Amino acid sequence: MPRPRREAFYLPGPLFGGRFCLLTRAPDPIGTLIFVHPFAEEMNKSRRMVALAAETFASQGWSTLQIDLTGCGDSGGEFGEASWRAWVQDCHDAWIWATANLPGRLVLWGMRTGALLLADLLRSTGIAAPLLLWQPVGNGRQHLTQFLRLKAAAEMMADTDAKSAMDAARSSLKAGESVQVAGYALPPAVANGLETASLGLPDAYPAPVVALEVGSEGREDVTPALRILIDRWQSAGIQARAESVAGAAFWQTLEIETSSALIDASVRALETFS
């Protein structure tokens, strides 16, 4: 079987340099996944896993379009120049480009906060496409709080001091100032968007949704938060399901980790999308 071709290009954007894109093109494509990466260092930790998945998907006839959001990775601008609204627009621009240039069905693939961005995209544009979600974040405010805790942890603060540091960080963001967290200059325009983001879909969303979580060996079900979300979607008439697979939390481990079970489960999901 011919190997997939990888093509790198820049999609013009608001900042100098545009948005870096990597297309892993299947030899005989039946469709394309548009991948929206997670937040901050989680993006770097997941690169290897996403590359392996894209290669496997290509062997099954699915191309993958990866876009580095504005201010992230190899795209133009700095992280501190980004905004949540710009990131949603990046997702929309990737969709428009793929619709015009790639054959077959489009699938939206979001990981962690990438799932939140896709939810905002779907609500704001009316786009309807199958969703493949990896370890989706359901609550943006909670995720922002966890990220701000890294600031306190890096300074090895006591619990009381950590709370004060987080309160000070939130005050700075509300005052329009960026906050340094784990090597990233978190801008208010990103923090504010993340804080209000939620993984909500329109009622009776017409396309299938598959959410996959990585957990310890033998864990039979997904986390309670995701189970509640899936039940809510199903009650709203959405064809949604969730599955837990064995593997390491590769987006946050010190060493680069992978999960073949997650890729295998994703391939099974794609079979239901085609």
pLDDT at 3: 80
Q: Quick check: 1 pLDDT over 70?
A: no
Shared domain check, 192 and 130: no
Shared domain check, 173 and 39: no
In this prediction, residue 160 carries a pLDDT of 56
Q: What is the pLDDT of residues 224-233, one digit of tens each?
A: 999 999 999 9
Per-residue pLDDT, 16: 73
Which is more confidently placed, 1 or 10?
A: 10
Domain count, the chain: 2
Whether 13 and 56 share a structural domain = yes
- Whether residues 65 and 189 share a domain: the answer is no
- Residue of higher predicted confidence among 4 and 102: 102
Residues 204/236, Cβ–Cβ less than 8 Å: yes
The pLDDT of residue 164: 81
Does residue 159 share a domain with residue 234? no
Q: How confident is the model at residue 136 (pLDDT cuts 50, 70, 90)?
A: very high
Q: What is the pLDDT of residues 149-186, one digit of tens each?
A: 887 776 656 555 777 888 888 899 999 999 999 899 99
pLDDT of residue 86: 96
Single out the residue in 197, 212, 236 at which a domain terminates: 197
Instruction: State whether 223 and 180 are in the same domain.
Output: no
Tell me: do 246 and 158 sit in the same domain: no
Asked whether residue 130 falls in the same domain as residue 222, the answer is: yes
Residue 135 has pLDDT above 90, yes or no: yes
Out of 155, 170, 197, pick the residue that ends a domain: 197
Question: End of a domain among 197, 227, 245?
Answer: 197
pLDDT of residue 182: 87
- Who contacts 109 (Cβ-Cβ below 8 Å, separation ≥6)? 33, 34, 35, 36, 64, 131, 132, 133, 134
93 and 28 in a single domain? The answer is: yes
Regarding whether 64 and 85 lie in a shared domain, the answer is yes
Domain co-membership, 57 together with 114? yes
The whole-model pTM stands at 0.95
- Specify whether 72 is located in the same domain as 131: yes
Mean pLDDT of the chain: 93
**Cα of 157 vs its chain's centroid, Å:** 30
In terms of residue numbers, what domain contains 156?
140-197
- In which band, very low, low, confident or very high, does the pLDDT at 214 lie, cut at 50, 70 and 90? very high
Please tell me the predicted confidence (pLDDT) of residue 147. 93
